Structure 1
């Protein structure tokens, strides 16, 4: 392996270690497959300079988020997937969204932790909702949303059960940006203290 390829391999290995994720999870976070990432790390395939820089930036942000116990998109998806019930899944979703808001207010690059694409929550509705909320928060902060958050609307409407509202009331009280994704959640249910 030539010196430049060796240096790229070392940079990617350091980024993987700093991210705190498995190779498969870090590859997902970067929008590639574990096998492709492995070929980059071994030097068999040359990644773009943009990919290498992005890997380092995201790994650094993931490390900082973990150190300060700030949820990231991958951590939020995992928390939703591992939630003991749907109420806890909603709490994890909103806590993750609130952590994203904090990072976006800092204007120091730490929001890169949310550029890391998450694995699935195990439910299409929550996967899409996490993506749509993330894109909405980035746009509200005047930032470009991460690629992974640019998703298509659900094919069928998702109207989670509500303890107080009927289906029509839920639909009526849903913000437009969620309705466009075929997700129906009252705006007040997205408010946190």
Structure 2
């Protein structure tokens, strides 16, 4: 059965949002807080999304496109860059901090609305980096007085994550870790989080 006119317009809207986002359908679904299969049913017209979902899809896609054109990393791009750098630990850390610094720039712009970081990131492939990315993003949102998106509510890791450090032994790393990270079972010295 052919979708009705309104459904066709919703499909076109979501298709345009997906294209504008620059993400795969699976990553765009994660960014919007839904599953790839659910987004697929919306894009096929089998299920109708809410108006709120459509507005969010357009807003997030537009923000992702704007960040990309400004050459600023979004949360999804930061997570993917960390994942791709996993064979090179130093590069993974640089990608994490560079993404965090780009969020800070977006928050400091006049509108203070970093929609590219409203988009939830896919997993980095490392639970430790996933939690640390969420925690650092939350810090930036809090610093700017902007309500953080839901994905910044990181859950405590079941086991301590103490990445190998070139100069400090694990006890020194733990002692030098900020309290907010300790509560998440993530142990990284504060000085290592200063700049990319």
- TM-score of the alignment, normalized to the shorter chain, above 0.5: yes
Q: How does 1:31-46 map to 2 (within 5 A)?
A: 31-46=33-48
Which has the larger displacement, 124-133 or 159-168? 159-168
Counterpart in 2 of 1:47? 49
Q: Which runs of 5 or more residues in structure 1 are unaligned?
A: none
Q: CA deviation at 1:33?
A: 1.1
Q: Which runs of 5 or more residues in structure 2 are unaligned?
A: none
Counterpart in 1 of 2:117? 114
CA distance in 1, matches of 2:168, 2:53: 46
Q: How does 1:1-193 map to 2 (within 5 A)?
A: 1-83=3-85, 84-108=87-111, 110-192=113-195
Name the CA shift for 1:12/1:109 in 2 (closer, same or farther; >3 Å). Answer: farther
CA distance in 1, matches of 2:93, 2:19: 30
1:143-188 CA distance string (max 9 Å, x none) = 1111112121101111111122222221121111111111011111
Aligned residues: CA RMSD:
1.4
In the superposition, the TM-score normalised over structure 2's length comes to 0.93
Which has the larger displacement, 139-148 or 50-59? 139-148
Aligned residues: 193
2:114 match: secondary structure? helix
In the superposition, the TM-score normalised over structure 1's length comes to 0.95
CA distance in 2, matches of 1:147, 1:10: 27
